[in-house]
Amino acid sequence: MNTNGSIPYLKLPFQFNQERLLNDLSIIAENKWIPHFNTAGYNGEWKVIPLYSQNGRDNDIFALPVENPVIQETAILKACDYMQEVINSFKVPILSARILRLGKGAKIKPHKDHELGYENNNFRLHIPISTNDKVQFILDGVNIVMRPGECWYTNVNYEHSVANEGKTDRVHLVIDGGRNEWSDKLFFSLAPKERFRTAPKEIEDPETLRKIIDQLTLSNEPAAQSLIEQLQQKLNQTAP
C-alpha cells in the first residue's frame, strides 16, 4: 500500500456503451492482434491492437515514451466509429490508445510502470469492453473491480498485476493521455489537488530492464530502437 497519500486509482464519471464497443471489436480481424513484447512479464496470452501509435502504424504497440513522437490514428481505429467517439470524449492530447486482450487463465506479473501517474503530467485510463467476475486487477494492494463500459484512472507507478481466472477473455480499451486544463478540472473534481503527489522514486531493477531490452531487440520497428537506447541509458545509470 502507498504511504504518501497519493491517489492510486479513480473511477471517472463516464459510462460507455458496451454493445457498441463490442460491435467495433467484432469488425477487427483476428490477425491484427499482436503479442505483447514483454514476454517475461506475463504467462498465457496477452495481445494488443494499436489504435493510436507513432506515425499511425498498425503494428506499433509500444506505449512507452519516445522523444518527439508523432502520434496518429491507425487505420484500424478509423474503421471503429464508436471507439473514435470514446477516445475523442477525452479533451486531452492522446499519447497512446490500444485494445489489450488478456486470455483466459493468463496472468500479468506484478510490476510498476515508469512515471505514468497524474502527478507526472500524463495518465492511463481503462475502459473494459469484455470481462468476467474472476478477473483480479490488483493495484497498490487493492483489487479493483472494473465493469464493462466504466472508465478508471490507474496510477501504474504503483505495483499492479492482473490475473484472469475466468473462462472468457478480458478485453480493455486503454488510453494514455496528457494532462491539461480539461483533465485538471475533471480529476480535481473527484479528489483534492494535493492528493496527486509524486510517488517515491525507486532504483530501476537492472534485471527487469535487461529483459525488456532483450524483448525489444526482437522488433524491427524504429520505435523499438529508440526505446532500447533510452532503457540502456537507465541500465547504465543503475550500474554500480
Pick the CATH number of 9-200 from 2.60.120.330, 1.10.3080.10, 2.40.50.140, 3.40.50.300: 2.60.120.330
Nearest CA to 8 among 157, 182, 167? 157
pLDDT band at 5 (very low <50, low <70, confident <90, very high): low
Here the cell at position 186 is 475533471
DSSP state of 207: H
Domain boundaries, the chain: 9-200, 203-240
Write out pLDDT tens, residues 25-35: 999 988 899 99
Q: What is the average pLDDT across 120-130? A: 96
- In angstroms, the CA 40 to CA 188 distance is 37
Write out pLDDT tens, residues 106-119: 999 998 887 889 99
CB 131 within 8 A of CB 171: yes
CA geometry: angle 115, 191, 171, nearest 5 deg: 60
Strand order of the β-sheet with 107-111 is: 42-43, 107-111, 160-164, 135-139, 142-143
Write out pLDDT tens, residues 24-81: 999 998 889 999 877 788 999 999 999 998 777 776 665 555 455 678 899 999 999 9
Look up the pTM and report it.
0.81
pLDDT band at 139 (very low <50, low <70, confident <90, very high): very high
Query: What is the percentage of the chain residues whose pLDDT exceeds 70?
Result: 76
Predicted confidence at residue 38, as pLDDT, reads 77
Write out pLDDT tens, residues 87-108: 999 999 999 999 999 999 999 9
